[in-house]
Amino acid sequence: MSSFVPYAPLNVPKPFGERIWTVDGPEIRMDYGPASMPFPTRMTVVRLPGGRLWVHSPTAPDDALFAVIDRLGEVVWLVAPNSIHYWYVADWQARYPVARTLAVPGLAEKAKRHFRVDALLEGPAMPLPDGIAGVLLPGTMVSEAVFFHQASRTVILTDLIENFEPARVRSRLFRALVRLAGVAHPGGGTPVDMRLTFWPRRRAVRAAMAEILSWDCERVVMAHGLPYERDGAAELRRAFGWAL
């Protein structure tokens, strides 16, 4: 039995706004020191003009999912948005070999699974399609690129905010860890360990967060936990309070 009650159905695109879908994938386990921790997974798909698809944090490959994605449009971009969320990019590259892959700086050198990187998510002129803005939060161990889909007014995160619903966490131990880490709904936020990786570069992180807060945001979607479907700007200000 999985450690989390899933956001069913899995491997099915769910509308999240204008021309944007979320896809909840299977639960995975991530190394955490000598142990491993279970995590639910989620990717975000944006359809841009011409039916081109921008796929953020690809989840595990699945033939039925690929078939549905192909009906939505043509996969033109694959995004490895932080130093942790990259594992399945190689599988999606195999399926969509002409898609351009974007990744945070340094990931290609540190990744435990090889994949092709076509451009880096850094600097004021990120290589992003029209309709999507982005900014990089640099950390010592983990860096994360954050995006804004203008048509749906959605900020797209990975781990910068986690918002686990305690009622969906089956293990009493994991429920306690979720609360201890400061990532329990309704007050989801940046995990304590991730804050530490950003602290040495807090000036750059603070400037990036200020840019994020300038976006006209209504919704926030993240890789782990319940997305915010309204009052996104207020949720971002609350969750980023530790760094502002």
How far is 101 from 231, CA to CA, in rounded Å?
31
Q: How confident is the model at residue 218 (pLDDT cuts 50, 70, 90)?
A: very high
* Residue 90 lies inside a defined structural domain of this protein: yes
- Confidence at residue 235, expressed as pLDDT on a 0 to 100 scale: 97
Contacts of 149 (CB under 8 A, 6+ apart): 17, 19, 20, 46, 131, 132, 156
* Residue 77 lies inside a defined structural domain of this protein: yes
Does pLDDT of 34 surpass 70?
Answer: no
- Confidence at residue 2, expressed as pLDDT on a 0 to 100 scale: 79
Does pLDDT of 37 surpass 80?
Answer: no
Q: Domain containing 167 — which CATH number?
A: 3.60.15.10
Amino acid of residue 238: R
Does pLDDT of 1 surpass 70?
Answer: no
User: Which range of residues forms the domain containing residue 195?
Assistant: 14-239
Q: Is 198 left (phi over 0), alpha (psi -120 to 50) or beta?
A: alpha
pTM summary value = 0.95
Token pair for 118: 């076509």
* Residue 225 lies inside a defined structural domain of this protein: yes
Taking only the tens place, the pLDDT of each residue in 53-79 is: 999 999 999 999 999 999 999 999 999
Token pair for 137: 């939060």
Q: Is 163 helix (H, G, I), strand (E, B) or coil?
A: strand
Angle, CA 7 vertex, CA 6 and CA 10 arms, to 5°: 85
- Confidence at residue 32, expressed as pLDDT on a 0 to 100 scale: 59
Only one residue has tokens 């002129």, namely: 125
* Residue 5 lies inside a defined structural domain of this protein: no
DSSP-assigned beta bridge partners for residue 25: 41
Q: Quick check: 72 and 49 in contact, CB under 8 A? A: no
Q: Quick check: 163 and 183 in contact, CB under 8 A? A: yes
H helical segments located in the chain? 63-72, 89-95, 107-110, 172-180, 192-198, 202-213, 232-239
Give, as one character, the DSSP assignment of residue 215: S
Domain count, the chain: 1
* Residue 206 lies inside a defined structural domain of this protein: yes
Cα–Cα distance list, 223 to 39, 82, 164, 201 (Å): 9, 11, 10, 23
